[in-house]
Amino acid sequence: MASSPQSARKPSRIQLRNRKRILEAALEVFSSHGYRGATLDQIADESGLSKPNILYYFEGKEDIHVHLLNQLMESWLEPLEQLDPAGDPLQEILEYVQRKLEMTREFPRESRLFANEILQGAPRMGPHLQAGLKPLFDEKCALIERWVQAGALAATDPRHLIFSIWATTQHYADFDAQVRVLMAGEKGVLDGAGTHLETMFRKLLTP
């Protein structure tokens, strides 16, 4: 029996490539069926590797899922981190909205993977939210609060403001199946959303 490459010193090129293929396939499968709904068979099919081969590269189904969530957390925090204390307050927030919407457009599967996890009580991501998201959230809420105090933004609760931004932007990825039915094949849905959200948050925040 070969030992798992988990313990190897330097990952070979093949290792890196195959781990990547597996994670890519797993993102596809987990994001559309949820953790329990996904099977190793599906991930094997999607990645073009055999099932035992997948378990050669990862310790198991859960290990793959955890890797995906860890990766995800970083790219999830980034747009909020970019909120710049030195920038123009209204502009900064409107740009944040557009960045989030851009992520919905570029990474809808990641959005659904995250939504699946949170929806089911964040069983594997709870600690990550505490350690990673919470401090950043608090920091940026304090920043927005200072902007409000300085009169650069209309009075608003920064926490609910951020929730509204997350909710409205991620909605187009997470509820895509519903949006598709209701928008009946219309093109450029996200462009329309961009215009709408820009107007909404501008009106809300203009002092």
The interface with a copy of itself within residues 130-169 (CB under 8 A) comprises 130, 133-134, 137, 156-157, 159-161, 163-164, 166-168
CA atoms of 125 and 73, how far apart (whole Å): 9
Which of the stretches 37-45, 66-74, 136-144, 153-161 binds DNA when contact is defined by CB under 7 A? 37-45
Distances in Å between the Cα of 45 and the Cα atoms of 11, 29, 107, 137 are 24, 10, 22, 39
What are the residue ranges of helices labelled H in the chain? 13-37, 40-47, 51-57, 61-81, 89-106, 108-119, 126-128, 134-149, 158-174, 176-183, 189-205
Nearest distance in Å: CB 190, DNA: 33
Check if the beta carbon of residue 33 is closer than 8 Å to that of residue 45: no
Residue in 6, 41, 75, 119 binding DNA, rule: CB under 7 A: 41
Nearest distance in Å: CB 8, DNA: 5
CA atoms within 13 A on the CB side of 3: 5
**Is residue 24 packed enough to be buried (19+ CB in 10 Å), middle (13-18) or exposed (0-12)?**
middle
Residue 3 interacting partner from DNA, a copy of itself, none (CB closer than 5 to 8 Å by kind): DNA
Nearest distance in Å: CB 59, a copy of itself: 21
Angle at 176 between CA 99 and CA 171, to 5 degrees: 45
Nearest distance in Å: CB 23, a copy of itself: 20
Residue in 19, 34, 51, 146 binding a copy of itself, rule: CB under 8 A: 34
127 binds DNA (CB under 7 A): no
**Six-digit token string for 118:** 């949170």
Residue with tokens 């951020």: 162
**Six-digit token string for 129:** 């939210």
Nearest distance in Å: CB 197, DNA: 38
Q: Which is nearer to a copy of itself, 63 or 157 (CB)?
A: 157
The interface with DNA within residues 52-111 (CB under 7 A) comprises 52-53, 55-57, 59-62
104 binds a copy of itself (CB under 8 A): no
Residues that bind DNA (CB under 7 A): 1-3, 5, 8, 12-15, 18, 38-41, 49-53, 55-57, 59-62
